[in-house]
Amino acid sequence: MAARLTTVPEIPVGYHPVMLELSRARAVLHLLQHLDQGDVAALYHGVPDAETENYTDWWRSMCYDTLHQALTDAGAAFVKDKQPPAAEEGA
pLDDT digits (tens, 9 = 90+) for 33-55: 888 887 777 777 777 777 777 78
Q: Which tens digits make up the pLDDT trace of 60-79?
A: 999 999 999 999 999 999 99
- Whole-model pTM: value is 0.68
Q: pLDDT class for 83, splitting at 50, 70, 90?
A: confident
When the pLDDT of each residue in the chain is averaged and rounded to a whole number, the result is: 79
Query: What's the distance, CA 45 to chain centroid?
Result: 25
Q: pLDDT class for 57, splitting at 50, 70, 90?
A: confident
What pLDDT does 58 receive? 86
What pLDDT does 69 receive? 96
Separation between Cα atoms, residue 83 and residue 80, nearest integer Å: 5
SS3 38: coil
- Quick one: DSSP state of residue 12? T
The helix-helix angle for 17-37 and 52-82 (nearest 10°) equals 160
